[in-house]
Chain A
Amino acid sequence: MIRSVCILLSFYLSLGVGAYGKDSSVSLRTAPYPGKGSPEESLTITARPDDAEVELDMDEYLYGHVRDSYEWHITTVKGKPVSIPLPVILISKTGRGVHVFSSRHLEEGEYQGFRIATEGKYENKIVERGADGNEIRPWDFSVTKNVLGLMINSILLVLIVLGTARWYRRHDASEEAPAGGTGIMEMMVTMVEDDIIKDCVGEDYKRYSPYLLTAFFFIFINNLMGIVPFFPGGANITGNIAVTLVLALFTFFTVNIFGNKHYWKDILWPDVPTWLKVPVPLMPVIEIIGMFTKPFSLMVRLFANILAGHFMILGVIAVIFLTAKMGAAVNGGLTVVAIVLGVFMDCLELLVAFIQAYVFTMLSAVFIGLSRQKPETN
């Protein structure tokens, strides 16, 4: 089984690195990311055979890969971007009602009074014009690349978990043990439950185990799909602050809604010398700030780790294109180095994908455990 996993992994990685390279090379040689801007601008980063100057717009290359977008750019074939147009759903703030249309219409510029801002506060976001000519951001509920990625990954996760659960419904688990995919899932579920949830939450872990398991597998599958460089994957989901913010908020509410009396007493009236609490409530203030810094750290940790991972892989691959004009020898040599490094980074990201899911779940479990602690009896 270990061997088959290894083969799968190496296959996955070779695909990954290859596709990153291909994707980048194609996108660099041709038109910029949709919504980037005017055709004149695109010429500066174009590397046609007759064009001596090869300019790599590093910012656009890096941010274009990690940010959310209104369409899902897959690749570019012969100068034409191949992308999946996604539905745009807008509620106008200037009283023009609800608008639903395909993101394809935005490629040409303004559509129904909406366009993608090229600069300023709302760069790369859809804006409309207010009465005074200012750019106003409408209520934007578009199914963006990240939303579609979330949906695909969630469906995948639900199918995997319900498929596993179905095995248990059809078999007597106390008579036989599952093999194959169900076995792997059982191993992972048991690992999370035994190593993280039982240890960190304490007595009434059963109540929190569905949430923590969901959080673990949700983060894990989104991290993994983020490393896959082509269509169903490749969206930088867990490296998006909105996603990690929601996850952190779920943990925040779980901790504070189900916190017991002792937890609140520890925040509002901790066991410290009285002068630290009265008249200046120093410790309570620190504790209350702590209530918010805990989920904040959860949010930032996951976001930053995954985003940094994406940046590192993209950076390593960019070496190939940055050295393109330095001659065949240098470029060839550095390409080999970049691919070796890319394989290494992808392996590292696999590890990080697991570790970050593990850490998020473990810290959530620890915070929940702290909010359920019983007062120490002397």
Chain B
Amino acid sequence: MSLITPDFGLLVWMTLIFGIVFFVLAKWGFPMITDSVQKRADRINESIAKAREAEERLRNLASEQDALVEMARKEQAAILKEAAASRDALIEQAKVQARDEAAKILDQARTQIAAEKESALRDVRKEVAVLSVAVAEKVLRKELGDGSGRDELLGRLVEELSSSEDLKN
């Protein structure tokens, strides 16, 4: 049966043709296609990895941001608290100072008033003394003028004066 006996000529031709086809396709055909497809697959994998990484980083960024906001808020609260404290302290200090100042002014005024009063009293006293001397002079003159009992009176007066002087001293 010729169907199952290979023909020599066809064998040779087939070897030649398949050899050429194989050579051409193996050199310029299939490697180009498979390499390109491989390259694309690599690139897709790489892109996926990169995307995942970016996503991860983004997620980290968000949490980082949250942390930052939290920190800022805390700091803000701290600053506010500090400001309030310092304000209170300042007011307190001012109050104390004002009180001290007021006290000082009052003291000053009091001493001044006292001094004024003293000086006024002294003036009054001086005036009274002058007046009393004048009155006494007039009385003395009248008493001494009629001459009776002048010496006695003089003596008593001197005595009184000296005793009052003693008393004074």
Contacts and interface: CB of A to CB of B under 8 A. Distances in A.
A135 interface: no
Contacts of A292: none
Contacts of A193: 34, 37
A190 B2 CA distance: 39
A56 interface: no
B3 A174 contact: no
Contacts of A343: none
B25 interface: yes
Contacts of A67: 2-3
Interface stretch (B15-23, B55-63, B119-127, B130-138): B15-23
A296 to B, nearest CB: 12
A144 B2 contact: no
A241 B3 contact: yes
B158 interface: no
A165 B28 contact: yes
Contacts of A247: 18
Interface string A320-335: 0000000000000000
A150 B26 contact: no
A142 interface: yes
B3 A307 contact: yes
B25 A213 contact: yes
Contact of A186 (B7, B13, B37, B42): B37
B126 to A, nearest CB: 121
Contacts of B28: 162, 165
Interface in B1-49: 2-15, 17-18, 20-22, 24-26, 28-34, 36-37, 39-40, 42-43
A246 interface: yes
Interface in B58-86: none
A189 B6 contact: no
A3 interface: no
A158 B29 contact: yes
Given A157-B21, A243-B14, A124 B30 contact: no
A66 B3 CA distance: 9
A247 to B, nearest CB: 7
A140 B7 contact: yes
Interface residues of B, number: 35
Contacts of B8: 139-140
Contact of B9 (A123, A141, A174, A307): A141
Contact of B21 (A123, A154, A168, A185): A154
Contacts of B29: 158, 161-162, 164-165, 210, 214
A143 B13 CA distance: 8
A184 interface: no
A158 B17 CA distance: 11
Contact of B30 (A66, A213, A242): A213
A147 interface: yes
A260 B76 CA distance: 75
Contact of A242 (B11, B31, B37, B43): B11
A209 interface: yes
B39 A174 contact: yes
A242 B3 CA distance: 9
A250 B33 contact: no
A193 to B, nearest CB: 6
Contacts of B10: 68, 144, 146-147, 240, 242-243
B18 A218 contact: yes
B26 A211 contact: yes
Contact of B25 (A210, A240, A307): A210
Contacts of A143: 13
Given A242-B7, A242-B11, A165 B33 contact: yes
A177 interface: yes
A136 to B, nearest CB: 14
Given A147-B14, A214-B21, 6 more contacts: A141-B9, A158-B25, A165-B29, A241-B6, A243-B10, A245-B11
Interface of B: 2-15, 17-18, 20-22, 24-26, 28-34, 36-37, 39-40, 42-43
Interface of A: 63, 66-68, 123-125, 139-144, 146-147, 150-151, 154, 157-158, 161-162, 164-165, 168-169, 173-174, 177, 185-186, 189-190, 193, 209-211, 213-214, 217-218, 240-243, 245-247, 250, 307
Q: Which 9 A-B pairs have the closest CB atoms?
A: A210-B26, A173-B36, A242-B6, A161-B29, A165-B32, A242-B10, A168-B36, A174-B43, A140-B9
